[in-house]
Amino acid sequence: MSTQSLSAPPIGADHIRALVEPDRVHRSVYTDQALFDLEVERIFERIWVYCGHESQVPKPGDFYTMQIGRQPMVMVRDKDMQIHVLYNRCPHRGVELCGATKGNTGSSLVCSYHAWSFHLDGKIKAIPLASGYDGTRLSRDNPDCSMKRAERVDAYRGFVFASLSPTGPSLREFLGEARIAFDDMCDRSPVGEVEAVPVCHRVIQHSNWKFFMENQLDALHPSVTHQSTGVAAGRIEQQLVKKHGKAPLYYHMLSTFASSFEMWDEVQTLNFPRGHGILKAYMGLRPQDPDTKAYEALLEKAYGKEKMEEYLSRSIHHVLVYPYLSVQSPLQQLRCLRPIAPNKTLSEIWHFRLKGAPDAIYKRSLWYYNLVNSPATMINADDLENWSKGQWGLESKGGEWVSFHRGMGTDTEENGVTYSNKGTSEAVMRSQFKAWVQYMTGAL
């Protein structure tokens, strides 16, 4: 099968199905421009896409810009505190309205070209020299005179999403079992809420978005890819334990990456419909230090002992909202992908503060953010290098297929959920591609 014949338009459903076999996929799903264009149309510009957290726009007039598929969008807080998601485009001649990533636009959005102004819900407010339109078919009542809005906007526990499609599942349905990502994050706050820390690392990865999504639940790679970092951190951790009887938790955050293959095989993945998934916990995050005890006492006061135990002992490390979100709820981390091209993906890397929790607990989140997820860390950098090299390999003529055979036939399926019996099973990728075919053929 040649890439050329696979990419020749139009791409029909049979064509798409032929690219994904139960245990392998054709390399063109990572490299082909026509397939990427179709992904934008059939997936990213239809599904619920994460816009941001409501704490990013706390006051009326606050805005935050982002891409949904290829569409430039802006999330704005209105005077009545409602949040709108609008196309960041002036209806006059198309000029971008909010030129900055974030800010406050006051009581209206004003175009920098000819000063048309808009209410915070996107409706036209004023047109300079409006009499110039007398006798033309442009009128203020015409919706074309106002900024276009995302078809649907909704939020789940403060996390704001928008869909550019008027039809489709509700946000709750779309998130399905992956809602636990947001519940788990918020339940860890004594007041049940988080706030975004207004620092976002943005990384361009020179690879297809699927590399990231597959990697997040790939338990086979950490002890290889992150071995040098994990082993080095582990050595110092052991020295400190020997000397002082304990070591700061951040050494553990890094040393765990170098755990044995056997340990990784013990960590189960859960793979849900729509491609969402969970990698269960593999890291001890409940040390017995005074900070942790004080925090747990706060949670117990807020929710009672039973609930506190339930919230803190959920077995979660990563939750994936397919195809673009990775949430590490126990550490309040969220990474959001904005695909740009077959071989180019923007990732936004966020972390959150548990409202009402002691500062020492926030610092753990910050450590993890800086030590594991930030572009400055050796963990993220080593992953990025693998994905770039993966992209080059798949763009080559060195082979046509990508293998997802590992653990095939050994997983357990119940009520549409696939449970891996070995952590390193490639059930994750098989499940993601099942959803991919459904999206691309219009079945989802």
For ligand FES, the binding residues (CB under 6 A) are: 90, 92-93, 95, 111, 113-114, 116
Backbone angles phi, psi at 432, to 5 degrees: -65, -40
| Closer residue to ligand FES (CB): 72 or 176 | 72
Q: Distance between CA 197 and CA 74 in Å, rounded?
A: 19
Q: Report which of 262, 161, 178 is spatially closest to residue 216, judged by C-alpha positions.
A: 178
Q: What are the tokens at 145?
A: 């005179």
Question: In the complex, what is the shortest distance from the CB of residue 94 to ligand FES, in angstroms, rounded to a whole number?
Answer: 6
When CB distances are held under 5 to 8 angstroms depending on the partner's kind, the choice from ligand FES, Fe ion, none that residue 184 binds is: none
Q: Distance between CA 384 and CA 99 in Å, rounded?
A: 29
Q: 92's torsion region: left (phi>0), alpha (psi -120 to 50) or beta? A: alpha
Q: What would the DSSP string read from start to end of 275-304?
A: G-EEEPP-S-----SHHHHHHHHHHHHHH-
Longest dimension (CA), the chain: 86
Question: In the complex, what is the shortest distance from the CB of residue 93 to ligand FES, in angstroms, rounded to a whole number?
Answer: 4
Q: SS3 for 46?
A: coil
Q: Distance between CA 220 and CA 197 in Å, rounded?
A: 31
Q: Distance between CA 360 and CA 383 in Å, rounded?
A: 29
Question: In the complex, what is the shortest distance from the CB of residue 358 to Fe ion, in angstroms, rounded to a whole number?
Answer: 30
| Closer residue to ligand FES (CB): 25 or 111 | 111
Question: In the complex, what is the shortest distance from the CB of residue 112 to ligand FES, in angstroms, rounded to a whole number?
Answer: 7
Question: In the complex, what is the shortest distance from the CB of residue 365 to Fe ion, in angstroms, rounded to a whole number?
Answer: 19
Q: Distance between CA 260 and CA 407 in Å, rounded?
A: 18
When CB distances are held under 5 to 8 angstroms depending on the partner's kind, the choice from ligand FES, Fe ion, none that residue 314 binds is: none
| Closer residue to Fe ion (CB): 214 or 383 | 383
Q: Report which of 154, 104, 73, 157 is spatially closest to residue 338, judged by C-alpha positions.
A: 73
| Closer residue to ligand FES (CB): 145 or 408 | 145
When CB distances are held under 5 to 8 angstroms depending on the partner's kind, the choice from ligand FES, Fe ion, none that residue 92 binds is: ligand FES
Question: In the complex, what is the shortest distance from the CB of residue 128 to ligand FES, in angstroms, rounded to a whole number?
Answer: 8
| Closer residue to Fe ion (CB): 38 or 283 | 283
When CB distances are held under 5 to 8 angstroms depending on the partner's kind, the choice from Fe ion, ligand FES, none that residue 383 binds is: Fe ion
Question: In the complex, what is the shortest distance from the CB of residue 71 to ligand FES, in angstroms, rounded to a whole number?
Answer: 17
Backbone angles phi, psi at 79, to 5 degrees: -65, -35
Query: Residues in the site for Fe ion, rule: CB under 5 A?
Result: 383
When CB distances are held under 5 to 8 angstroms depending on the partner's kind, the choice from ligand FES, Fe ion, none that residue 93 binds is: ligand FES
| Closer residue to ligand FES (CB): 14 or 134 | 134
Question: What are the Cα distances from residue 53, in Å, to 72, 77, 104, 194?
Answer: 18, 12, 16, 9
| Closer residue to Fe ion (CB): 54 or 383 | 383
